[in-house]
Amino acid sequence: MGGMIAQELMLRHPEQVYQSRARVHDAGGPNTQMAGPDVIEMVMAGSKLMTTDPEKASTIMLRR
């Protein structure tokens, strides 16, 4: 839901958005599979850095 909220914010207030990096914000449907432990670890590491170093966090989470 956070991705959809961010999209609405950007659409309603584009003058206040400097940059955005969006990924797929969809549950995926009935054939969705749980992400592997390596992916979960990568996202968690990036999330911990998001408030202090968003550029590094984005690099970690988007390195694939």
Query: Is residue 17 one of the residues assigned to a domain?
Result: yes
pLDDT at 11: 82
Q: State the number of CA atoms in the 13 A half-sphere of 28 facing the CB.
A: 8
Q: Whole domain around residue 21: which residue ranges?
A: 2-25+35-61
Give a yes or no: residue 52 inside a domain: yes
Distance CA 9, CA 47 (A): 20
Residue 30 lies in a domain: no
Domain count, the chain: 1
Give the count of alpha carbons within 13 A of 40, CB side only: 5
pLDDT of res. 61: 79
- Asked whether residue 43 is domain-assigned, the answer is yes
Below-70 pLDDT ranges, the chain: 1, 22-28, 64
Residue 55 lies in a domain: yes
